[in-house]
Amino acid sequence: MSNPILQLQNIHRHFFQGGEDLHILKGVNLEIQAGETVSLVGASGAGKSTLLHITGLLEKANEGDVMIDGVSCNGLSDIKRTRIRRNEIGFVYQFHHLLPEFTALENVVMPQMIAGVGGNKARKRAEELLEKMGLAERLTHRPAQLSGGEQQRVAIARALANRPKLLLADEPTGNLDETTGGEVLNILLDLAREEGTAALLATHNTSFAKRTASCVILKDGKLHKGVKMGA
């Protein structure tokens, strides 16, 4: 069997605040395979965003290792960590962070051009992704001309544009109503499975968490296996 796409090994994170040692993550372990979707739930302040930041190589753990497709990222230089982050990891946030002056299509083309993909190829990939998102009629719309759900679908297409091995999403539907959020989540999960992307999604919405292949709960600094969920 091939390597898991993501392995978190004994991750610890402390914050030192006002003379106090806040030990937020106390030995977190997790494995996610290609095409596997996992939701991350936990009370506010449990450390979900901190764990996603460490997993996305945006910050470092005080102890432990993040392995991306078998590569140990702990001891790598900042340049190598940035390269892995750019090439192997896609991010979706609660707010879409699309570039307002560019169209939907251009927003999805852009990260590919930055990664060195040629214009025609990048455009074709962007069109395909946006069509799968049900946005074929919205390619030339700017973010302000799109609904919240449409904006978030463009953000998901952008995150997947460079075919990342790992998709990290922090409350990807947190800014949407229940129905729209559910639709956006289904699209995200279908696409991640279809593309073989490993996905870790932090969410407060327990009914949404049921739609991923598995669910982990962050509590008292450790991950606990959630009840085995649906698909």
Ligand X SMILES: Nc1ncnc2c1ncn2[C@@H]1O[C@H](COP(=O)(O)OP(=O)(O)OP(=O)(O)O)[C@@H](O)[C@H]1O
In the complex, the residues that contact ligand X under the rule CB under 6 A are 15, 17, 22, 24, 42, 44-50
Q: How far is CA 100 from the centre of its chain?
A: 21
* Contact of 29 with 64, CB cutoff 8 Å: no
Distance of closest approach, residue 142 Cβ to ligand X, in angstroms: 29
Which is nearest to 183 in space by CA: 209, 157, 208? 208
Confirm if 38 and 229 have CB atoms less than 8 A apart. Answer: no
Name the minimum Å distance from CB 204 to ligand X: 6
Question: How many CA atoms lie within 13 Å of 205's alpha carbon, on the beta-carbon side?
Answer: 19
Q: Report the residue number, 15 or 95, with the smaller CB distance to ligand X.
A: 15
- The alpha carbon of residue 78 and the mean position of all alpha carbons in its chain are separated, in whole angstroms, by 20
Contact between 93 and 154 under an 8 Å Cβ cutoff? The reply is: no
Q: Which is nearer to ligand X, 17 or 120 (CB)?
A: 17
Complex with ligand X: residue 108 or 167, whichever CB lies closer: 167
Complex with ligand X: residue 50 or 107, whichever CB lies closer: 50
Rounded least distance, CB 171 to ligand X, Å: 7
Cβ proximity to ligand X: between 45 and 119 the closer is: 45
Minimal distance, residue 48 CB to ligand X, in Å: 4
Q: Which helix (H) or strand (E) holds 201?
A: strand 198-202
- Judge contact between 223 and 217, C-beta under 8 A: yes
- Least distance in angstroms from the C-beta of 206 to ligand X: 13
What DSSP line would sit under 67-99, residue for residue? EETTEE-TT--HHHHHHHHHHHEEEE-SS----
Q: Provide, rounded to whole angstroms, the least separation between the CB of residue 157 and ligand X.
A: 25
